[in-house]
Amino acid sequence: MEYEQQDNEQNEQQDEEQNEHQDNILDTNWITEFELNDKDYIKFYNEDVYDIKICSIYVDRENNIENIKEESLLLKQQNIISREEIIHVIKKNSFKDKKRYTILSLLKYNVDIEAPNIKHYLKNNKDFLVPVKNIDTIPLKKTISMFQNLNTIFIVFYEKITSTNNQTKKVYITNHTKTKKKQLKV
């Protein structure tokens, strides 16, 4: 009987220690549960832009679209297209099918909507297309994950008119200004 009582006391003491130990351990189940629930919404969080689609549109002399070329540009710095990167793309794409093109327009389409405004955007269709006035660093705003593939730089190229008559015309400059002396009357 005495042994039973000691066993019971030891068991109670072990139970108390175990309960105390469990109280000291932080309950992390809520974190796991949150992460599972959050997975459904992660595509609505704004993220940095690391790459962007470049769409080159080629227009001929009669203002017809001849060709459209799409490519992806991996940015050296997140959320920024550097001046060097955009100039490289323009130079690389200024020749197509043995024709030379000049840049007519540069446009940026950057979807920078916040998650709570998506419903409003779908109803009102805010326009994210803006002209880029100078060929310089182009800043990009963070974009919701599911809209990342919509971010685009549009470059409109116009066929350059090349002259077939490349002769230089000589220009002769003659001095036709002669001054006459006026006679004074006395």
Q: What is the pLDDT of residues 133-168, one digit of tens each?
A: 999 999 999 998 888 999 999 999 999 887 666 566
Per-residue model confidence (pLDDT) at position 139: 95
Q: Where are the alpha helices (DSSP H) in 25-168?
A: 29-38, 83-93, 118-124
How far apart, in whole angstroms, are the C-alpha atoms of residue 132 and residue 89? Answer: 15
DSSP string, 103-151: EEEEEEE-----GGGHHHHHHH----EEE--SSS-EE---EEGGGGGG-
Kindly report, residue by residue over 8-48, the tens digit of the pLDDT: 666 666 666 666 655 555 667 776 776 666 566 666 788 99
Q: Spell out a b/e string for 77-88, using b for 16 or more CB atoms within 10 Å of the CB, else e.
A: eebebeeebbee
Residue 36 belongs to a domain: no
User: How many structural domains does the chain have?
Assistant: 1
Nearest in space to 103 (alpha carbons), one of 113, 92, 111: 92
Q: Is pLDDT larger for residue 129 or for residue 43?
A: 129
Per-residue model confidence (pLDDT) at position 104: 93
Residue 164 belongs to a domain: no
* C-alpha distance from residue 51 to each of 54, 79, 114, 160 (Å): 10, 8, 20, 30
Q: Phi, psi at residue 35, to the nearest 5°?
A: -60, -40
Residue 7 belongs to a domain: no
How far apart, in whole angstroms, are the C-alpha atoms of residue 55 and residue 51? Answer: 13
Per-residue model confidence (pLDDT) at position 121: 65
Per-residue model confidence (pLDDT) at position 45: 80
Residue 51: give its domain's CATH number. 3.10.20
Residue 9 belongs to a domain: no
Kindly report, residue by residue over 89-116, the tens digit of the pLDDT: 999 999 998 899 999 999 999 988 877 7
Residue 114 belongs to a domain: yes
Q: Phi, psi at residue 106, to the nearest 5°?
A: -130, 120
pTM of the model: 0.65
Residue 2, pLDDT > 60, answer no
Residue 117 belongs to a domain: yes
Residue 3, pLDDT > 90, answer no
